[in-house]
């Protein structure tokens, strides 16, 4: 209720109460806290003065808690446990083993580099909570500006103020196509865009990097857009559509690899293109001047390691 006086006890006083309650003797409690017995006696007298009543009953075999002492000792123990937990959390946070990290990525880097990096981070620091969003670059960059993310893997927007961000070149995305295993093109050694455009397409919306790369490739070969297109950014919708029709879907190569190399996705194949399609490069983007937590810095370092070790392999396959 309003006006209730606040019991102002310090942490070392609470520790003394807990130590006396545990050992039943002032001398042992003082040794536990590395203070002299007279100092412990003075501290206890000050505590009881603040509380306004004795907390311990003195008897020949030691000291026992009074009913009020039991209430305060229980709270003192709970607070001591909380402080130990807090100390562990702070230490883990400083060492990058705890805390939260929020990252975003476009689809290809999310599958190819971010997921392996998160797996490594989880092995090192299972206490870290990681939030991942997969979205178009426009959404990611706006979220980074609003401090929704620690860093993102995407492309800066043309209208973005580059001075507001730190950009670390990452890699190019390569486009592959995904079809169901029973598709007429599944057994072909090499397929061209002219072959693919004879079928229904399910593809991302206009203006997205993969859609732009495919449209430009069709234009270079003098081919019109496919006559039948379903536009969606949902991978789930794409997979459902592909599994039930002879449609084709251009996707980031990392995604088609995942969909054709896992037992769950054995019903799909990746036709080999006669000519590789490359998407504009993406970057690791950070907000300039914004400090990252140790956990976020560790995940960032792991992502950079994944890029350094995996990207050359991807380039070699793409250029082959």
pLDDT at 6: 52
| Confidence bin at 314 (pLDDT 50/70/90) | very low
Q: Considering the domain delimited by 11-94, tell me its CATH architecture.
A: Orthogonal Bundle (1.10)
Closest CA relative to residue 192, chosen from 272, 280, 256, 260: 272
Residues 6+ apart with CB under 8 A from 156: 137, 141, 162, 165, 167, 283, 285
**Least reliable range by pLDDT among 27-41, 92-106, 109-123, 295-309:** 92-106
Length of the chain: 320
pLDDT at 315: 39
Beta bridge partners of 104: 133, 152
Tokens of 234: 């949902």
In the chain, where the domains are located: 11-94, 100-319
In the block, tokens 């140790």 appear at 294
241-251 confidence digits (pLDDT tens) = 999 999 999 99
Contact 228, 235 (CB under 8 A): no
Task: Work out the angle at residue 31's Cα, subtended by the Cα atoms of residues 26 and 32, and round it to the nearest 5 degrees.
Answer: 95
Count of alpha carbons within 13 angstroms of residue 236, beta-carbon side:
1
**Cβ neighbours, 10 Å, residue 119:** 11
Contact 233, 208 (CB under 8 A): yes
Residue 69's Cα: distance from chain center in Å?
46
> Phi/psi at 167 (nearest 5 deg)?
-115, 125
Same fold, 11-94 and 100-319: no
| Confidence bin at 189 (pLDDT 50/70/90) | confident
pTM for the predicted model, two decimal places: 0.62
98-134 confidence digits (pLDDT tens) = 678 999 999 888 988 999 999 999 998 888 889 999 9
The CATH class of 100-319 is alpha beta
pLDDT at 302: 95
């Amino acid at each position: 209720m309003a006006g209730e006086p606040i019991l102002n006890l310090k942490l070392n006083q609470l520790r003394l109460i807990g130590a006396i309650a545990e050992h039943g003797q002032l001398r042992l409690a003082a040794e536990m806290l590395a203070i002299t017995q007279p100092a412990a006696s003075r501290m206890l007298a000050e505590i009881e003065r603040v509380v306004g009543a004795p907390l311990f009953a003195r008897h020949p075999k030691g000291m026992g808690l009074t009913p009020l002492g039991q209430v305060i000792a229980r709270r003192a123990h709970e607070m001591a446990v909380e402080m130990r937990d807090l100390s562990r959390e702070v230490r883990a946070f400083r060492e990058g083993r705890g805390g939260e990290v929020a990252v975003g990525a476009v689809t290809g880097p999310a599958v190819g580099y971010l997921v392996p990096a998160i797996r490594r981070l989880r092995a090192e620091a299972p206490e870290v909570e990681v939030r991942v969003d997969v979205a178009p670059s426009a959404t990611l960059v706006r979220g980074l500006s609003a401090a929704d993310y620690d860093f993102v893997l995407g492309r800066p927007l043309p209208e973005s103020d580059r001075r507001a961000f730190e950009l670390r070149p990452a890699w190019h995305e390569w486009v592959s196509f995904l079809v169901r295993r029973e598709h007429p093109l599944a057994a072909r050694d090499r397929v061209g865009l002219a072959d693919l455009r004879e079928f229904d397409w399910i593809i991302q919306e206009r203006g997205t990097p993969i859609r732009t790369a495919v449209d430009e490739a069709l234009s270079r070969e003098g081919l019109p857009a496919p006559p039948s297109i379903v536009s969606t950014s949902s991978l789930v919708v794409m997979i459902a559509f592909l599994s039930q029709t002879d449609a084709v879907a251009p996707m980031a190569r990392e995604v088609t690899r995942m969909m054709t190399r896992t037992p769950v996705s054995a019903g799909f194949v990746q036709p080999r293109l006669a000519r590789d399609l490359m998407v504009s490069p993406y970057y690791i983007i950070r907000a300039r001047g914004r400090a990252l937590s140790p956990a976020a810095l560790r995940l960032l370092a792991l992502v950079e390691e994944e890029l350094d070790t995996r990207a050359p392999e991807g380039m070699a396959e793409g250029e082959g």
